[in-house]
Each structure stands twice: as structure tokens, then as C-alpha cells.
Amino acid sequence: DGKKLYSPKVTKEIVEKYSFKFSKSLGQNFLVDGNVIRKICDGANITKEDEVLEIGPGIGTLTQILAERAKKVVSVEIDKKLLPILDETLSGYENVEIVHGDVLEINLNTLIREKFKNKRIKVVANLPYYITTPIIMTLLEQKLPIDKIVVMIQKEVALRMQANPGSKDYGSLSIAVQYYSEPKIITNVSKNVFIPKPKVDSTVIMLDILDKPRVEVKDEKLMFNIVKAAFAKRRKTLTNALNSSPLGLSKKDIKEALASCDVDPKVRGENLTIEEYAQIANVIALKF
């Protein structure tokens, strides 16, 4: 009937009709702006070929437009109180399926196999901000058949994901995200396009998943432990940070490893590229 859920009036009517109470602890801030939704869908380049996994449909605002553009949408929602609402708001859309559950508990491998027959998918969401990093890391680390992730997240987190060496936002999240994907900020979003209005600024970011990780690493876990150690002591030199970490490396070992990678032992972790971290991890994996 052309009734769009992103109209603030329509959203308010639905919320009132069901006496829905927004849950702060579930990160419930519903989008009420057609332009932002269009930017999200354009950013993800959603076409009738696409099968989409959405996380947290809310009352179905983004889901509705995804359903109109994509071939199929499967959307995971934790809040039982939203299920009858979604039943009504998405009743006309045959290509949408709502799955009740916690995205961090669900076996995503199984879900993707069952719902999408292991076809490559896109993940599109206005994420619950309190679990942004665990959700993104779950999606990236499990090596699922995902081509692109396009999500609205807190602006500061988006800046950290996209940051380069030397910037104040550069850290272990930048390295983890860039190991698996090419991040690109699509647009910044005002607080005023949500009901209720959140305290933080938002950004839509696209993570283009790489065919294979950006660098070759013999022991991923070791590399991420080195990264963690380097950023745990931001003000220290890399040598001192690694030496005082639980990795159990002596100063001599570290100096030798860094020398063989042509890395200055006095450098700080915040100035090293992901390629340099990989190189250091590979030398340490071989030597010790």
C-alpha cells in the first residue's frame, strides 16, 4: 500500500498501537528517515539478485525497503515483543523471514546454510550499538560466505575501523577489521533521524570482505595477541610493550625479531602497518 515505516508518523502509530516500550539495554533506536535508508541500500548496492541477512529489524523499517529491493531477506530479532509487530508491518512481503534469537548465540553457519543454501550474502543492519564489535568480529572471524557488510554504527567505532597507522583512532579494531575487509565510510547520520534520539552520533560503514585476508599470517592468534600487547601499552615502545605482555618474549628475542623485519625497536605499535604486524608475527612464530 506504499505505507513506509520510516515515516515518523507511521512509526509512532505502530509503537502506540502495540504499547511498545523501547528497551535501552537492547539498543532500540528506530530509524525514521527514508534518505538514510536509501543510502544504506545504495551503499550495499542491493539488487533483485541479492540475499540479505539483517540483524535487529526493530519494527521492520529497514527490512521493508530491503525486501522491496532484494531477492530475499532473513532478519534476526532478539525482542519477542517485536514479533507480532513485524507480523503486521511485513505481512505483504513474501520474501522476508524473521528469526527470533540472539545474533551472538545463533549458529550463523547453520543459519546461512539453511536459509540461503550457502549462497554468498550481504549483511545489512542498523546495529544495536552495545554489541557492535562482538557482532562484527563474529561475522568476520567465522569466514562465512559474506560479500559485504553495510551497517549503521556509532561514529567513533566507524572511525576506529577505518583508521590508518599514526592516527589516534588506530588500534586493534582497525587491524582486525582491515585484516578481513576493506572499510569505507558511506555517510554520517544525525541523531535526529531516530526514535528515541540516541546520545551518540552514527555512521554508515561498508566492509567489503576480501577474498582472502589482507596479509599472510602463519598463526593468526599470535598476530592478534601481538597487536593486543602493542596497543595495551600505547605510550611504550613496541619492544617494551611486547616485553611486558603475557607473550613471554625476552627483550633480546624481540629485538632480533624486529631487526629481521627491518622494524625500528623504538617504534610505537600505533605506527606499524598490518603488513608489519604480520611480518613480525611470522618471524616470532618461526623462531620461538
- Of 51, 121, 123, 128, the one binding ligand SAM by CB under 6 A: 128
Residues contacting ligand SAM: total by CB under 6 A: 23
Give the binding range for ligand SAM (CB under 6 A) out of 99-107, 153-161, 240-248, 279-287. Answer: 99-107
- 244 in the Ramachandran plot: left (φ > 0), alpha (ψ -120 to 50) or beta? alpha
Cβ closer to ligand SAM: 78 or 223? 78
Counting every residue written for the chain, the total comes to: 288
Cβ closer to ligand SAM: 203 or 282? 203
Q: What angle do CA 171, 235, 136 make, to 5 degrees?
A: 15
In the window 41-60, what residues touch ligand SAM (CB under 6 A)? 55-58
Q: Which residue has the cell 600487547?
A: 229
Cβ closer to ligand SAM: 32 or 241? 32
User: How do strand 72-77 and strand 194-195 relate by DSSP bridges?
Assistant: unpaired
What is the Rg, in whole angstroms, of the alpha carbon atoms belonging to the chain?
Answer: 21
- Of 78, 272, 274, 281, the one binding ligand SAM by CB under 6 A: 78
- Asked if 62 touches ligand SAM (CB under 6 A), the answer is yes
DSSP string, 155-192: HHHHHHHH--TTSTT-SHHHHHHHHHEEEEEEEEE-GG
- Nearest residue to ligand SAM by CB is 56
Other CB atoms within 10 A of residue 285 CB: 16
- Asked if 74 touches ligand SAM (CB under 6 A), the answer is no
- Asked if 61 touches ligand SAM (CB under 6 A), the answer is yes
- Annotation-wise, does 238 bind a ligand? no
| Footprint of ligand SAM (CB under 6 A) | 26-31, 55-58, 61-62, 76-79, 82, 102-104, 126, 128, 131
